[in-house]
Structure 1
Amino acid sequence: QKHFGENYLQEALEKIETLKGQNLVWHFIGPIQSNKTKPIAQNFDWVHSVDRLKIAQRLNDQRPQGLEKLNVLLQVNIDNETTKSGVLVDEIDELIPHFENFKNISLRGFMCIPNPNNAEQSFKKMAEILQKHPNLDTLSMGMSSDLDLAIKNGATFVRIGTDIFGKRS
């Protein structure tokens, strides 16, 4: 296993430091506050939870010279839920061109956390959205509870924590 996803920045930074030199790929998958973008830009290879242009701009501006481009995914609020972060489906086409101006980050695709009651339909919708953007190649969707459905519908990354590490205490 070379790819590790982390929801919590402080825990992640400790693990990244401890495992430095192991040639691992680090994914930040948690919510991003503006004041946390610098350590994310400095320490991660992927960010799955870019939910607004301001965050993308900060990650771009704070990515150190000499590091490869930071791979980012636009978090999509696929079910239009008020309790979830992410851009709305009808905002995607308006936002994507802005990423062409960034020199230090690379938009690779999309991430979603669907309503569990509607997961398969949401995953299908995400696959359709990705197909409309041939320059993008990544779908991060599905967790321990719905990973089979996500893979069936084109997920390239699934976020499996509970099934590997158990429930958080």
Structure 2
Amino acid sequence: MNSARASASDELISRWRQVLIEMRRASAVAGHEAEAVQLLAVSKFHAAEAIAALNDAGQRDFGENYVQEALEKMQQLRGHDICWHLIGPLQSNKTAEVAANFDWVHSIDRLKIARRLNDQRPDELPPLNICLQVNIDDEDSKSGCSLAELPALVEAVMALPRLRLRGLMVIPKAGETSAFATLAKTHAAILARLPRLADAPFDSLSMGMSADLAEAIAAGSTWVRIGTAIFGARPTISSVGTTA
């Protein structure tokens, strides 16, 4: 590795470690166990080389938004112990590839997609971990089921044997961190109504990004999705040339 690459790798790992420190600090302030919150490094538009450097340093979970981009990285990173999470919207024509290659999907918002993932999950793989994305603010521009639709979707997904319902995900409006508390209350209400989910386990709240990490952890997040604070500014999609 030349000196420029070594310097870039050192900076990347330094930023990653700083995020871990901020997560521990936020957990302590909120009175939560630090181990209860996991870091999902959002690597979309960033090179496989950067993912490999972080993985070698100890980061195992990586989140991607675009299926084709992620599949290319998976090919390049065969042999690395990586847990792959899809966090972007999922189209019907991509479900077979996701079912065969990902460990988690955080962005399920309708039963049609869940059923396709269930039917297409290879038998030799463990059940696919699923979070249901909730559009708490009812924004037309965002994916996610409504709070009113959520109970029926939970019940239906629970019946799919090749999926493992793990929890809920939200992407709130910028600055609207009250959505985190709403999601946490919704999660608790679902567990109270369906106690058998505790054995699933229905244990995940995927919420919080670089700008609102502390607020999300205070509300009970178990997965914070951090990209910019670790990798720096993302390249533009045109420079990457990758489609969903």
For residue 116 of structure 2, what is the aligned residue in structure 1? 58
Equivalent residue letter for 2:208 = G
C-alpha separation between the residues in 2 aligned to 1:133 and 1:66?
31
Could you give the per-residue CA deviations for residues 60-91 of structure 1, whole angstroms, max 9, x where no partner exists?
Answer: 01111110100000000011111111000111
2:162 to 95, 104, 109: 104
1:19 to 54, 77, 82: 77
What residue ranges of structure 2 are gaps of 5+ in the alignment? 1-58, 192-196, 236-244
1:41 pairs with 2:99: yes
Equivalent residue letter for 1:58 = R
C-alpha separation between the residues in 1 aligned to 2:158 and 2:220?
25
Could you give the per-residue CA deviations for residues 97-151 of structure 1, whole angstroms, max 9, x where no partner exists?
Answer: 11122111111110000011312x1000001011113322101011111111111
1:140 pairs with 2:198: no
Equivalent residue letter for 1:123 = F
User: Percentage identity across aligned positions?
Assistant: 54
More displaced, 125-134 or 53-62? 125-134
1:131 to 176, 185, 188: 188
1:162 pairs with 2:220: no
Structure scoring higher RCO (CA < 8 A, sep ≥ 6) equals 2
What residue ranges of structure 1 are gaps of 5+ in the alignment? none
TM-score normalised by length of structure 2: 0.67
1:6 pairs with 2:6: no
For residue 21 of structure 2, what is the aligned residue in structure 1? none
C-alpha separation between the residues in 1 aligned to 2:159 and 2:190?
17
Partner SS for 1:17 = helix
C-alpha separation between the residues in 1 aligned to 2:136 and 2:176?
10
C-alpha separation between the residues in 2 aligned to 1:83 and 1:30?
13
Which contiguous aligned blocks of 4+ residues in structure 1 show a shift greater than 3 angstroms? none
Once the two structures are TM-superposed, the CA of residue 14 in structure 1 deviates from its matched residue by 1.3
For residue 40 of structure 2, what is the aligned residue in structure 1? none
TM-score normalised by length of structure 1: 0.96
Partner SS for 1:47 = strand
Structure 1 or 2: larger strand share? 1
Larger Rg: 2
RMSD: 1.0
1:87 pairs with 2:139: no
C-alpha separation between the residues in 2 aligned to 1:100 and 1:48?
15
Equivalent residue letter for 1:28 = L
Partner SS for 2:234 = coil
For residue 32 of structure 1, what is the aligned residue in structure 2? 90
Partner SS for 2:149 = helix
Corresponding pairs, count: 168
Partner SS for 1:143 = coil
